[in-house]
Chains A and B, each alone.
Chain A
Amino acid sequence: MVAVLKAVEEQGTVYHVKPGGAGQALAVEEFCLWYGAKQALFDVTMAVEKGLVTALIGPSGCGKSTLLRSLNRMNDLIDGLRIGGRIAFGGADIYAPDCDVIALRKRMGMVFQKPNPFPMSIYENVIYPLRVDGINDRRMLAETAERALRGSALWEEVKDRLHESALGLSGGQQQRLCIARAIAGDPEVLLMDEPCSALDPVATSKIEELIEELAGHYTIVIVTHNMQQAARVSDNTAFMYLGKLIEYGETETVFTTPKLEKTQEYVTGRFG
């Protein structure tokens, strides 16, 4: 273990990132994170390109979910959490003392591993972000609901039953509902933490199709255990191992001719 860590440390991250042409949405700089005494992230430096899909891959415990959750400060509530380094969103340090965390999270929609619709109607689920903001204009709410449900490719399936309970939807539909809820608040970034791992292959394909459609409008960061999925949906892929960013670059290169042997071994299923 120590030997592997040393080797990774000496290597440093290898970058060959495909630029999106629209600048950087997020800039992670020498970011470190400790859960109590245990360090989970080591000097991660990576820029997330605006409008592109960035996938985080790596074996369990490599720190990819931790990194994703650091991007909108979802880790804040964990006891004994310490960080070092910097994460900038739109140029501003999100860990600065004056950062408004609620406002930050509104600008970043999040989709989780398991669909988590609220126990209310489909309609109320989608417009929940607007309700929180105290918006009650019926027309605006209805328009937002339709836009978000169309955006998440769910509209045609639910337009006649908007006021039925969201819990009656299938797993795949629930997940698309959660994506609709995430984009209803018009965020800049969508964070997805293994959004398809609880879904069947057809529902997974629908979500992947959706990710392709949403890219461009939103910057998407997705954590996935499914490497083929990362290969299919993302523009850039970051491979993490033991809390370090090993290789970060164009997805096509990562899955055809990765620069590092370690990456090659992981993507071809030789360790993990």
Chain B
Amino acid sequence: MTAQHIVRSYDEELKRLTNAIVEMGGSAESQLDQAIQAVAKRDSELAGRVVRNDSAIDQLEEVVQSQTVRLLALRQPVARDLRDILAAIKIASDIERIGDLAANIAKRAIALNQSAPVRPVAAVPRMGRLAQQAIKDVIDAYVEHDARKAIAVWQRDDDLDDLTSSLFRELLTYMMEDPRSISPCAHLLFIAKNIERIGDHATNIAETVHFLVIGQRPASARPKGDTSSYEVVEPPPDSGGAPEGRGDR
């Protein structure tokens, strides 16, 4: 990218920091992948593994934090070096959250497997793939110091938001039609929301990469595509509204 530092160990320390972030990103991506598979294939054992593996990402975050503290104390970084280090702390904390959300998806997969399969599960793998791609691309953008690639991830988050909103509507309708599905559908709602949140963390990372490369946050505010917060689905007039304690499982 640029010239080397006069002190070579400084370069090596910065490189180690980047490597730790890349490793965290890779782990988060694979945790999400397996959590989604656990949902799609109703694999509780796999889900259990994902929950247990989350601590590995937490440990990596601690490594990143102690390295950044060390670099700040010993090197007094300025300009791009300083942004590099600040970016590493921020990105590590976003990835750590992604890991938590993936683990939560896995936990809910175990809960989902307690009840009969519901149709809207079919939308989850597609959402998962989008989120996974976003993590992969944004970590690539970080490694390559590519602000344009970061912005692309930032803009693509809309697609994930749209999918979340439509799955939300679908789940509401489904729950109204069959109250026995409320329990699995509620878990699915949270799974969808978790994936959507993972997308948001990827856009946070994209903003951090932009800051790292350009020195500023992206100029315009990203339009919020997820409208599920405002979503209302009216029960069909003939279904008589609220269930009268007949299918609470």
A interface residues, Cβ below 8 angstroms from B = 227-228, 231, 255-258, 261, 264-265, 267-272
Pair B78/A256 contact, Cβ less than 8 Å: yes
Q: Which residues of A contact B76 (CB under 8 A)?
A: 228
Provide the main secondary structure of the chain A interface.
helix
Pair B82/A256 contact, Cβ less than 8 Å: yes
Q: Cα distance A264–B214 when bound, in Å?
A: 13
4 tightest A-B contacts by CB? Answer: A257-B215, A270-B3, A255-B78, A268-B81
Which of A227, A255, A265, A268 is the most central at the interface, judged by chain B CB atoms within 10 Å of its CB? Answer: A268
- B4-12, B50-58, B116-124, B142-150: which one contacts chain A? B4-12
B interface residues, Cβ below 8 angstroms from A = 2-7, 10, 76-83, 215-216
Provide the main secondary structure of the chain B interface.
loop
Q: Cα distance A269–B74 when bound, in Å?
A: 13
Pair A269/B80 contact, Cβ less than 8 Å: no
Pair A268/B7 contact, Cβ less than 8 Å: no
Number of A-B contacts (CB under 8 A): 40
10 CB-based A-B contacts, threshold 8 Å: A256-B79, A256-B82, A256-B83, A256-B215, A257-B215, A257-B216, A268-B5, A269-B5, A270-B6, A271-B6
Pair A265/B10 contact, Cβ less than 8 Å: no
Q: Which residues of A contact B6 (CB under 8 A)?
A: 269-272
Q: Which residues of A contact B81 (CB under 8 A)?
A: 268
Q: Cα distance A272–B4 when bound, in Å?
A: 12
Pair A270/B4 contact, Cβ less than 8 Å: yes
Pair A268/B215 contact, Cβ less than 8 Å: no
Pair B10/A264 contact, Cβ less than 8 Å: no
Q: Which residues of B contact A268 (CB under 8 A)?
A: 5, 77-81
Q: Cα distance A227–B81 when bound, in Å?
A: 14
Q: Which residues of B contact A261 (CB under 8 A)?
A: 2
Pair B215/A269 contact, Cβ less than 8 Å: no
